[in-house]
Amino acid sequence: MDELLDISETSDNGVPVLALRGEIDLSSSPQLREALVRLQEEEPPVVVLDLSDVTFLDSTGLGILIGALKRRESAGGDLRLVITRPNLLKVFEITGLTTVFRLFPSRAEACT
């Protein structure tokens, strides 16, 4: 079966960015967890996760993001999420996670 999630690592304004495209669910979440762990091993002060092209995010994906946030915070770092799609923002709103994560409407704002 084709991969549902495409992950590319880049940087913007010196800030490491994971750009995701596709769907984050039970099937693709291990791929996301591995990418996040690998990136955080370098311990950058700020990591940006660009979810602009993510079309689906379920509770498993939320759990992976929470785990990444906890690891970042325990290392004194910052995890920022870029969310532009209303359906994705809605998932964070109904689960009460808009106040837990730092959400940004664009990559440029997240990387400044």
Which residues are at the interface with another protein (CB under 8 A)?
Answer: 1, 4, 23, 25-27, 29, 33, 56, 58-64, 66-67, 86-87, 91, 94-96
Residues 6+ apart with CB under 8 A from 51: 20, 57, 81, 82, 83, 84, 85, 88
Give the shortest CB-91-to-another protein separation in angstroms: 7
Nearer residue to another protein within complex by CB, 40 or 56: 56
66: Cα separation from own chain's centroid: 10
Give the shortest CB-10-to-another protein separation in angstroms: 25
Instruction: With both helix axes pointing from N to C terminus, report the angle between 29-40 and 59-74 in degrees, rounded to the nearest 10.
Output: 10
Nearer residue to another protein within complex by CB, 27 or 112: 27
Give the shortest CB-80-to-another protein separation in angstroms: 20
Nearer residue to another protein within complex by CB, 1 or 76: 1
Q: Identity (one letter) of the amino acid at 75?
A: A
Distances from the Cα of 70 to the Cα of 40, 63, 84, 97, angstroms: 12, 11, 23, 13
Give the shortest CB-94-to-another protein separation in angstroms: 4
Nearer residue to another protein within complex by CB, 67 or 105: 67
Q: What pairing do the DSSP bridges indicate for beta strands 102-104 and 15-24? A: unpaired
